[in-house]
Amino acid sequence: MSILVDEKTRLLVQGITGREGQFHTGQAIEYGTNVVAGVTPGKGGQSVLDVPVFDTVKKAVDKTKANATVIFVPPAFAADAILEAADAGIALIVCISEGIPVIDMVEVYHYLEGSDSRLVGPNCPGVISPGKAKIGIMPGHIHKKGNVGIISRSGTLTYEAVSQLTALGIGQSTCVGVGGDPIIGTRYIDVLKMFQKDRTTKAIVMIGEIGGTAEDEAAYFIKKNISKPVIGFIAGQTAPPGRRMGHAGAIISGGQGTAEEKMKIMKKCGIKVCKSPADIGKTVAKYL
């Protein structure tokens, strides 16, 4: 098994006619993902890579029974795209767009709390269940089907971890990029619960970074609720305070959210914490 994404995923691409949308639609199809529809308002009736394009998400869902969507629209319009997908009742919304104003996300988060849709992201690489399907921008070929679940706030650092695992012959059940923004839809804890239930997943890698307290909350949750081994890494051990390190959410403020503090709490909660990013693969091998 795997979580969130698999052979039953019927994917819709919002912003399919844009450069990014088009490129990654091609990549997803090549990987074996069932892409059933695209949406670009005003371009309904066209098709991209043989995928039919609709004007609204509602219409696309009615016609194609899409059950997941990936959003590639520019950040100024991305919050609206998420709301449209939720309004159309899509179960899984993955938002890749980076740079959404945080106030927009406050509203979106509030709206989603009252809906049945799950949001992953924004500002994330997406979700992949190796050998089954991918929703997002990660390079499919570095992955290998297997039994390690990965949760991360970062994109390329996740690829780094995946490639270390694959090189050691260790495959992945599902890799979830939750996103680097201060306000995100799906958090570590939500994914941890799913990995705990998923029978295929035998170990979990949790990759965090400076800023906020999400890793601390996750660590306390793991201590109480997760029986599978969890291997952790925190990026930004050398980051200066008060500066936004690329990701909008990666900032140490008021002495809070340092890597040191997070690593201490994670260790205390029984997580195997790697100090060096080069050790993630071999630490997993040790505890798997």
Partner 1 sequence: MKIHEYQGKELLSKYNVPVPNGKLIHSADEAAEAARELGTSVVVVKAQIHAGGRGKGGGVKLAKSPEEAAQYAGQILGMTLVTHQTGPEGRLVKKVLIEEGMEIANELYMGILIDRENSQVMIMASEAGGMEIEEVAAATPERIIKQHVDPLIGVKPYLARKIAFALNLRGAALKQAIPFIINLYDCFVKEDLSLLEINPLVVTKDDRVLALDAKMDIDDNALGRHADTYAYRDLDEEDPNEVEAGKYRLNYIQLDGNIGCMVNGAGLAMATMDIIKHTGGEPANFLDVGGGADEEMIENAFRILVVDPKVKALFINIFGGILRCDLLANGVVAAAKKLNLKIPVIIRMEGTNMEEGHRILNESGLNFIVGNGMKDSAKKVVQAIQ
Q: Which residues bind partner 1 (CB under 8 A)?
A: 20, 23, 75-76, 99-103, 105-107, 109-110, 125, 137-139, 141-142, 152-160, 163, 180, 182-183, 207, 209-210, 212-214, 217, 233, 235-240, 242-250, 254-255, 259, 275-278
- Closest CB to partner 1 among 47 and 213? 213
247 in catalytic set: yes
CB of 268 to partner 1, least distance (A): 19
Q: ω before 74 within 30° of 0 (cis)?
A: no
CB of 8 to partner 1, least distance (A): 26
Which residues sit opposite 149 in a β-bridge? 204
Tokens of 8: 């039953």
- Closest CB to partner 1 among 131 and 155? 155
Catalytic-role residue among 24, 141, 143, 247 = 247
- Strands 10-14 and 118-120, how do they pair? unpaired
Collapsing DSSP to helix, strand or coil, 276 comes out as coil
User: Helix crossing, 214-225 with 259-268: angle to 10°?
Assistant: 10
Contact assessment for residue 166 and residue 144, using Cβ atoms and an 8 Å cutoff: yes
- Closest CB to partner 1 among 110 and 199? 110
Q: What is the largest CA-CA distance in the chain?
A: 56
Give just the sign of the alpha carbon dihedral 71, 72, 75, 77: negative
CA-CA distance, 83 to 162, in Å (whole number)? 32
CB of 244 to partner 1, least distance (A): 7
CB of 54 to partner 1, least distance (A): 26
- Closest CB to partner 1 among 131 and 208? 208
What residues are annotated to the active site?
Answer: 247
